[in-house]
Amino acid sequence: MFNEGVVDLGSPQTHAKVAVANTATKPLTVLDNYDYARIVVQDNDIYWTVDGTNPTNTAGGGLGFFADVSTGAGCDIFLNKKELHGFKAINAVSASVGNMQVCYYQKIR
């Protein structure tokens, strides 16, 4: 996903904790002055997309990229501005809510 080469992101400009429900949602508010985000999926697996398509959590595998937190270390997702605007996520466990920590960054200019 992150195909712009190595970029020095500097320090995070802002941080947010975002709940991910069991219905497809666009949980991120993206402001124009942010270029990238690092998302850490914390306590439940999620399916996610970056093209505005609603991810699903159907039995046997859902639609979207799968973020697996079973290692206990969380799961990192890095997105650029275009991907942030199309980002949607759904909790992979149907009857629960998970959490993501999101750090927004600006390019070092």
In a domain, 87, yes or no: yes
In a domain, 9, yes or no: no
Spatial separation of the C-alpha atoms in residues 28 and 8, rounded to whole Å: 22
State pLDDT tens for residues 60-73.
778 899 888 876 66
In a domain, 2, yes or no: no
75 lies in which domain range?
14-105
In a domain, 24, yes or no: yes
CATH of the domain at 70: 2.60.120.770
State pLDDT tens for residues 31-52.
778 888 888 888 888 899 999 8
CB-based contact 67:75 (threshold 8 Å): yes
The least confident of 1-5, 22-26, 75-79, 90-94 is 1-5
Q: Please measure the distance between the N-terminal and C-terminal CA atoms of the chain and give it in whole angstroms.
A: 22
The number of distinct structural domains making up the chain is 1
In a domain, 1, yes or no: no
In a domain, 3, yes or no: no
Q: What is the pTM of this model?
A: 0.78
In a domain, 77, yes or no: yes
In a domain, 7, yes or no: no
CB-based contact 81:4 (threshold 8 Å): no
Rg (CA), the chain: 14
Spatial separation of the C-alpha atoms in residues 89 and 7, rounded to whole Å: 25
Residue 5: Cβ within 10 Å count? 5
pLDDT class of 57 with cuts at 50, 70, 90: confident
